[in-house]
Amino acid sequence: MITSLRRDVEPLADDELNAIVRSLLGDQYLEQFDLVIASGGTLSGFTHAYSDLDLYALPREGVTVGGRLESIDNLIVQVNIIDPLDFEQIVDTYRSFRMTREDKAQIHSHLRWRKLGSRLVSGRVVAATDLGTRVRSNLSAEVYRRLVMTCGA
């Protein structure tokens, strides 16, 4: 284990996170996005030399934006734009998960979305419209756990 890469830092406070989001997405970001979720070790304070902050943003209908990578106060921040169709498929996968001992057809249904699904389930909600809150409520951490554990077993 390379311990020199690990660095413990203070977890990113909500006001610091909000300032970063505003600087990257603008003060009126809820006019452009239904959901913004932050993820990564920087949020919890457990980081390594290559840690960054990931923002996942779901654009509102009719809004076209691109992702980007920026450095803010020596912190690399990656803005990931979630394709609304991909997001809908992820939500449908989680909402319809009904695998049983006899029917294991859904075991691999989440593989395409494993990384993004984990970030959406475990990340910190920075901002959400009513629609964003409603659709994220369908992303159950328990379903994600079952998908990962079943697929890995």
For the stretch 124-152, pLDDT in tens is 999 898 888 888 887 877 877 777 776 66
Give the mean pLDDT of the chain.
Answer: 80
pLDDT band at 41 (very low <50, low <70, confident <90, very high): confident
Mean pLDDT confidence for 68-87: 87
Q: Supply the DSSP string of 132-153, one letter for each residue.
A: HHHHHTT--HHHHHHHHHHHH-
Do residues 99 and 143 touch, judged by C-beta distance below 8 A?
no
Q: Greater confidence, 113 or 33?
A: 33
- Considering only residues 127 and 51, tell me which one the structure prediction assigns the higher pLDDT: 127
Whose structure tokens read 């990578």? 69
Q: Span 13-25, mean pLDDT?
A: 89
Q: Could you give the maximum distance between any two Cα atoms of the chain, in Å?
A: 53
Token pair in block for residue 4 = 């020199």
- 120 vs 60: CA distance, rounded Å: 17
Provide the whole-model pTM: 0.81
Reading the block at residue 96, the tokens are 């319809």
83-119 confidence digits (pLDDT tens):
888 888 888 777 777 667 776 666 666 666 777 888 8
Burial 89-109 (b: 16+ CB within 10 A, else e): ebbebbeebeeeeeeeebeeb
